Structure 1
Amino acid sequence: MGEFCQQFFTLLGALVCLSFLVRCIMFLKYLFPRAWRPLPQSFFRSMGEWAVVTGAGDGIGKAYALELAKRGLNIVMISRTLEKMQKVAFEIEKTTGRQVKTIQADFTKDDIYENIEDNIKGLEIGILVNNVGMLPWPNPCRFLSIPDNDKSVINCNITSATKMTRMVLKQMEQRRKGLILNISSGVGILPSPLYALYSASKAYVTSFSKALQAEYKSKGIIIQVVSPYGVSTAMTRHLKTNLFIKDANDFVRESLNYVTFGNETFGCLAHEIMGFVIKLIPLWVLHSERVQEKFLEVFSHLTEENQKMPKQMSVHKNQL
C-alpha cells in the first residue's frame, strides 16, 4: 500500500509539473505573436467588407473601429451618442478613406435590434466586435450598495452580445468565414466580490463565446472572448496608464495580433501575465474580507491620484 501511494503521488506530481510546463510554453506565444502564428496583411479584410463595432463612440470600441478601418474594412459604428460617433466617423474617413455607417442605439433597451438589422441588411459583415458594456456603478462596492439598474446592465452586457451575434452569425455561417470578438473583462474570469453583477454578466459573455467557438469552429468562423483588466477609458475614469493599465489604442492593436490564439485571450501581454498570476491564487484568498478592504483602499488611492492630474495640468497651463 505504501509503495502504491508513493507511485501515485509521484505520478500526480509529474502531471502537475507537466501541466505547468505546457502552460509556460503556451505562454511564449504572447511574447512572440508574429513568430508563433503570423497573420497575413490581408487577414482581416479577407473576412468580409464590413466590420460592426458596438459601443464605438469612445474607448475600446472607438479604438477597434479606427484600427479595423486602417486594416482595410468599412465600419458600422453602433452607439448611443450620435455626436461622438460622427466625430470618430469623420476621423476614420479622413485618415483611412474607408466608408463609415453610424447607427444610433441605446443598448440598455431591448427594442433596438429590428432597427439595427434593417440598417445592416445587405452588408457583407466579416467582423463583429461586441464591445458595448456598462458598470452598474463607477466604483467597486457591495451589491446592495448600488442602485437597482440590473435590467439595464443585463441588456447592455448580456442581451447585446447575444442578439448581435445571432444577427451577424447567420451570414458568416453561409459564407463559412468571419471573426467575432466578444469583449468581456478580467473580473469575469473568476467570481469577483465588489463587482458581483458586472462580473457575472461578463462571465456569461466568456462562457457564451467559448461554447459558440466549439460549435462553429469547423465552419471557418473564429469566435474569441477578450478579457482585459485595466484599460484607460471613460468607464474607468481615464485611469493613468502604466505597465498594467493600458491605453485603449495600444490595447486594441496588440489584441488583434492574438485573434488566432484560441477561444480566449486577455488581449495584451501585461494582462496575460496578470491573468496567469491571479489564476494561481486560491479563491478563498481573493474572497477574503481583508483582500476586499485592501482592494477598496488601493482603488480609492488610484482614483484620488487620477483626479489630481487634471488639476495639475490645469495649473500648468495657466502658468504657461
Structure 2
Amino acid sequence: MVLNNITAFQFFSSVALGLLCFKIVNKFLPWVYVNIIGPYFLGPKLNIRSMGGWAVITGSTDGIGRAYAKALAKRGFSLVLISRSLSKLEDVAKEIENEYKVETKIIDVDFQDSIGIYDRIKAGIEGLDIGVLINNVGVSYPYPEYFQTFYQQNPKVLLDMVSVNIHSVTHMCALVLPVMLSRKKGLIINVSSSITSVPAGLLTLYSGTKAFVDKFSEDLQTEYRDSGITVQCIKPGFVATKMSKVKASMWCPTPDTYVASALNMLGYTTTTPGYFPHHFLEIPCDFMTYLTCKPFVSSMFLKHYLKLRKSALKRLSQKK
C-alpha cells in the first residue's frame, strides 16, 4: 500500500513520532515555565504580604524554619514562633525583633507530646490575623539508628515521628484554616522532602510520613483552592542545616538561599523541590525507572543505603 509515494509504515511512523514529540513538548514547556522562567525571571505570582498580618511557623529555631521566619519578617509579617526549646525561641524572637522591627509571639511545645498541645497553640494564636502558616517541624531517625531496618526501630521513635511529621501538619492546618476562610485568603506551606521521589528502603517510615505531607497538601489545595487558600508542598533535597550535617554548596544551599528560591515558586505549582538543582535528584531516578523497572531501581538505592549504614556504624565504633 502506497499513499502518494509514502508507504503505510512511513505514514504511521511519522504520526507516532509526531505524537511522541507533542507529548514531550507538552510536558517539557510547562516544566520550564513553572521551574525556570516563572520563578527566576518573573518572580512569585502570589503577593503573600496581602494574606494577613501574622505568620505562624513551626520548627522555627533552626534551619529552614528559621530562614522562613526571617524572610517573612523582612516582608513585614508579625510572627508566631513555635518550637520545643524556650531559650532558643527567645533568642530567635529577640534577633528578629531587633533586626526587622516586627512583633513576635513564642509558643514552646513539643510536637511529640499528646494532642493537648494544640489547645495551648490555639489559645496562643487566638484573635490573630493569620495569613501564612509554615508547617516546617519534623524529625528523622536518630543517629546511629538512621539506617536500621523498619522492625529494628524503637517503637517510641516510630510514634514520635508520626506525631511530629504528620499530626503537626494536620492539626496546625485545622487550627488556622477557619481564620483564613473567614477572610477568603491565606497561604499554607508544608515542608516534605525529596526522599518521597526516590526509593527509600531503610528510611521507610520517614519517607512515608513525608509522602503523606505531599499527598495531603495536594488534596487540601484541591479542597480549598476556590476559597482563596493557597497550599504548597515543598520537597527539599539536602539543605545545609544542623540536622543534615552537610556543608553548603550549589547542590546543598544554605537555609536562607533555599527559602528565597522556594518563595519565588509561590503561585506556579502546588508541589515543588523549591530549589532548581534539587530537581536533578528526581530526574535520574525517573529516567532509570523508565529504562528498567522500579524494583531494580529500588534495589540499587537500598544497596546505597546499606553502604551508608555500614559507614555510619564504622565511624561510631571508631569514636568509642
Structure 2 length as normaliser, TM-score? Answer: 0.85
Aligned match for 2:138, one of 133, 138, 157:
133
User: Closer, same or farther in 2 for the Cα pair 1:77/1:300, shift >3 Å?
Assistant: farther
Please say if 1:58 is aligned against 2:67.
Answer: no
Aligned partner letter, 2:239:
V
Please say if 1:76 is aligned against 2:86.
Answer: no
Equivalent-residue separation in structure 1 for 2:309 and 2:183 (angstroms): 46
User: Closer, same or farther in 2 for the Cα pair 1:194/1:45, shift >3 Å?
Assistant: same
Aligned match for 2:237, one of 220, 229, 235:
229
Aligned match for 1:22, one of 1, 26, 34:
26
**1:231, distance to aligned residue in structure 2 (A):** 1.0
Give the aligned partner of residue 145 of structure 1. 152
Aligned residues: 300
Equivalent-residue separation in structure 1 for 2:19 and 2:134 (angstroms): 38
**1:189, distance to aligned residue in structure 2 (A):** 3.1
Aligned match for 2:168, one of 153, 160, 169:
160
* Structure 1 residue runs of 4 or more that deviate by more than 6 Å after TM superposition: 3-10, 299-305
**1:303, distance to aligned residue in structure 2 (A):** 11
Please say if 1:291 is aligned against 2:308.
Answer: no
Give the aligned partner of residue 253 of structure 2. 246
User: Closer, same or farther in 2 for the Cα pair 1:10/1:37, shift >3 Å?
Assistant: same
User: Closer, same or farther in 2 for the Cα pair 1:207/1:15, shift >3 Å?
Assistant: farther
- Structure with the larger RCO, 1 or 2 (CA within 8 Å, 6+ apart): 2
Contact 2:131 2:186 (C-alpha < 8 Å) held by counterparts: yes
Greater Rg, structure 1 or structure 2?
2
Contact 2:187 2:230 (C-alpha < 8 Å) held by counterparts: yes
Aligned partner letter, 2:102:
R
User: In structure 2, the residue corresponding to 1:118 is in which secondary structure?
Assistant: helix
Contact 1:80 1:106 (C-alpha < 8 Å) held by counterparts: yes
Aligned partner letter, 2:249:
N
User: In structure 1, the residue corresponding to 2:232 is in which secondary structure?
Assistant: strand
Equivalent-residue separation in structure 1 for 2:313 and 2:185 (angstroms): 43
Give identity over the alignment, percent: 33
**1:38, distance to aligned residue in structure 2 (A):** 3.0
Aligned match for 1:95, one of 93, 96, 99:
99
Aligned partner letter, 1:135:
S
Aligned match for 1:67, one of 65, 71, 76:
71
**1:7, distance to aligned residue in structure 2 (A):** 7.7
User: Closer, same or farther in 2 for the Cα pair 1:14/1:167, shift >3 Å?
Assistant: farther
**1:10, distance to aligned residue in structure 2 (A):** 6.4
Deviates more, 1:3-12 or 1:109-118: 3-12
Contact 2:148 2:309 (C-alpha < 8 Å) held by counterparts: no
User: Closer, same or farther in 2 for the Cα pair 1:300/1:50, shift >3 Å?
Assistant: farther
User: How large is the Cα RMSD of the aligned pairs?
Assistant: 2.6
State the Cα deviation string for residues 240-277 of structure 1 (Å, max 9, x = none): 12222221111011100001111101010111232233
Aligned partner letter, 2:280:
I
Alignment of 1:304-315 (within 5 A): none
User: Closer, same or farther in 2 for the Cα pair 1:191/1:273, shift >3 Å?
Assistant: closer
Deviates more, 1:27-36 or 1:294-303: 294-303
Contact 2:198 2:285 (C-alpha < 8 Å) held by counterparts: no
Aligned partner letter, 1:47:
M
Equivalent-residue separation in structure 2 for 1:281 and 1:31 (angstroms): 24
**1:285, distance to aligned residue in structure 2 (A):** 3.0
**1:9, distance to aligned residue in structure 2 (A):** 7.6
**1:121, distance to aligned residue in structure 2 (A):** 0.3
User: Closer, same or farther in 2 for the Cα pair 1:78/1:18, shift >3 Å?
Assistant: same
Equivalent-residue separation in structure 1 for 2:124 and 2:178 (angstroms): 16
User: Closer, same or farther in 2 for the Cα pair 1:154/1:9, shift >3 Å?
Assistant: farther
Give the aligned partner of residue 112 of structure 2. 108
**1:287, distance to aligned residue in structure 2 (A):** 1.0
Please say if 1:123 is aligned against 2:134.
Answer: no
User: In structure 2, the residue corresponding to 1:281 is in which secondary structure?
Assistant: helix
User: Closer, same or farther in 2 for the Cα pair 1:122/1:7, shift >3 Å?
Assistant: farther
Contact 2:201 2:305 (C-alpha < 8 Å) held by counterparts: no
**1:188, distance to aligned residue in structure 2 (A):** 1.9
User: In structure 2, the residue corresponding to 1:76 is in which secondary structure?
Assistant: strand
**1:84, distance to aligned residue in structure 2 (A):** 1.1
Structure 1 length as normaliser, TM-score? Answer: 0.85
Aligned partner letter, 2:302:
Q
5+ residue gaps, structure 2: 1-6, 316-320
Please say if 1:210 is aligned against 2:228.
Answer: no
Equivalent-residue separation in structure 1 for 2:303 and 2:198 (angstroms): 18
